[in-house]
């Protein structure tokens, strides 16, 4: 067999084998009732583990393309697919009639079906996105937010990591990249020149906004007592400083590294009017949570500096992910 399998692709190898066999059954290369190649022989031909072929055959049986005869092997058997398809079509027809009776147009119904199918896409078929930013304090939280909202697998990278070792972006085959406005041009250039096929992969901008709760808490700060800002990275410290200046905070503020936070607050617990914390309480092995608990114990006001991905950015990104998912599905059908 002259199949090309992607060992590090987003689709598991067993599923790639199953999909290729399904295609051969549908185009008539493999005939009804024909015995499939024994697992051991196919695994040797494809240079994969026998268990991988076993999983592929189980997938064929599950999808109604084959059946297994004990002691004899696995055979092409599509007899169940007609019944399955008939039942599915009946359910879809009923749903379409109901939606039409509610005043939905044909185009609206088609869109709703496609979006519903996308939301229920199996985990293994989700697109892969790389999120790149400069502040480790926000990095993982933003990646999770994007993953949940856009129905993707999202890996997170620091911009400094990319500058030092740009080749790490080739660890996975990413369908798209996203970063903040500040880093977009740099990331776009890196993807274009380092990632295989990078000139065809979108690099999207995501706007990060400070939450209303954080703005409200900062607006309450006043007086001569300083504000303690707990930070881990210089990028985060710079971001907070820019925001405090932009917001017109007149109280003095002191920047305290995370590792020194507990010592500093224990030693000078009456010095600060408030403590601004990174939003991820598990950051730095849970030190932020410990500092928050200490503030409560000492009666010091504390709150997280919380940033989130702007809703407009997320909706735009989700629409792009949805379109690319549709395109990849059509390309797979035509291959």
Mean pLDDT of 34-62: 93
- What's the rounded mean pLDDT across residues 175-183? 95
pLDDT given at position 117: 81
Q: What is the pLDDT of residue 249?
A: 87
Provide CATH code, domain 13-77: 1.10.10.10
Confidence at residue 332, expressed as pLDDT on a 0 to 100 scale: 63
User: Which has the higher per-residue pLDDT, 41 or 87?
Assistant: 41
Domain ranges of the chain: 13-77, 89-119, 126-205+312-334, 212-305
Q: What are phi and psi of 34, to 5 degrees?
A: -75, 140
**Domain spanning 126-205+312-334: CATH 3.40.50:** yes
Check the CA dihedral 135-144-315-185 and report its sign: positive
The stretch 227-232 carries a mean pLDDT of 94
Residues 112, 198: Cα–Cα separation, whole Å: 32
What is d(CA 22, CA 315) in angstroms, rounded to the nearest whole number?
35
The pLDDT of 66-75, averaged and rounded, is: 90
Query: Looking at residue 107, what is its pLDDT?
Result: 85
**Is pLDDT above 90 for 328?**
no
CATH of segment(s) 212-305: 3.40.50.1860
Give the integer Cα–Cα distance in Å for 126 and 123: 6
Q: How far apart (Å, rounded) are the C-alpha atoms in residues 278 and 261?
A: 12
Q: Is the pLDDT of residue 26 over 90?
A: no
**Which whole number is the average pLDDT over 313-332?**
85
| pLDDT > 90: percent of the chain | 61
Determine if residue 33 is left, alpha or beta; phi over 0 gives left, psi from -120 to 50 gives alpha, anything else beta. Answer: left
Check if 126-205+312-334 and 212-305 are the same fold.
yes
Closest to 38 (Cα-Cα) out of 65, 13, 7, 68: 68
Q: Give the residue among 135, 266, 23, 202 at the shortest CA–CA distance from 1.
A: 23
What does the pLDDT look like over 109-130, one tens digit per residue? 888 888 888 888 877 788 999 9
In this prediction, residue 9 carries a pLDDT of: 67
Q: What pTM, to 2 d.p., does this model score?
A: 0.70
Cβ atoms within 10 Å, residue 37 = 18
pLDDT of residue 27: 87
Q: What is the mean pLDDT of residues 293-310?
A: 93
């Amino acid at each position: 067999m002259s199949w090309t399998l992607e060992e590090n692709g987003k689709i598991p190898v067993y599923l790639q084998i199953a999909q290729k066999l399904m295609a051969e059954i549908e185009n008539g290369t493999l005939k009804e009732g024909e015995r499939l190649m024994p697992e051991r022989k196919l695994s040797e031909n494809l240079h994969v583990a026998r268990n991988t072929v076993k999983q592929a055959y189980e997938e064929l049986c599950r999808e109604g393309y084959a059946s297994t005869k004990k002691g004899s092997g696995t055979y092409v058997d599509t007899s169940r697919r007609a019944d399955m398809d008939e039942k599915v079509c009946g359910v879809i027809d009923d749903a379409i009639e109901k939606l039409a009776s509610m005043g939905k147009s044909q185009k609206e119904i088609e869109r709703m079906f496609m979006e519903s199918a996308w939301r229920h896409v199996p985990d293994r078929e989700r697109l892969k996105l790389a999120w790149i930013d400069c502040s480790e304090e926000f990095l993982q939280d933003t990646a999770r937010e994007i993953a949940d909202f856009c129905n993707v697998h999202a890996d997170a990278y620091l911009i400094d990591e990319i500058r030092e070792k740009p080749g790490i972006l080739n660890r996975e085959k990413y369908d798209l990249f996203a970063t903040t406005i500040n880093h977009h041009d740099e990331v776009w250039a890196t993807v274009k020149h380092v990632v295989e096929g990078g000139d065809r992969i979108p690099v999207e901008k995501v706007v990060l906004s400070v939450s209303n709760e954080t703005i409200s808490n900062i607006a309450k700060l006043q007086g001569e007592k300083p504000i303690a800002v707990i930070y881990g990275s210089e990028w985060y410290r710079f971001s907070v400083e820019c925001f405090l200046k932009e917001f017109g905070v007149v109280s003095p503020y002191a920047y305290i590294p995370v590792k020194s936070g507990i010592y500093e607050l224990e030693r000078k617990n009456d010095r600060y009017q408030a403590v601004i914390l990174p939003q991820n309480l598990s950051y730095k092995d849970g030190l932020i949570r410990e500092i928050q608990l200490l503030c409560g114990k000492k009666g010091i006001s504390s709150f997280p500096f919380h940033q989130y991905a702007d809703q407009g950015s997320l909706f735009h990104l989700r629409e792009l992910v949805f379109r690319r998912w549709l395109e990849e599905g059509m390309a797979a059908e035509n291959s």
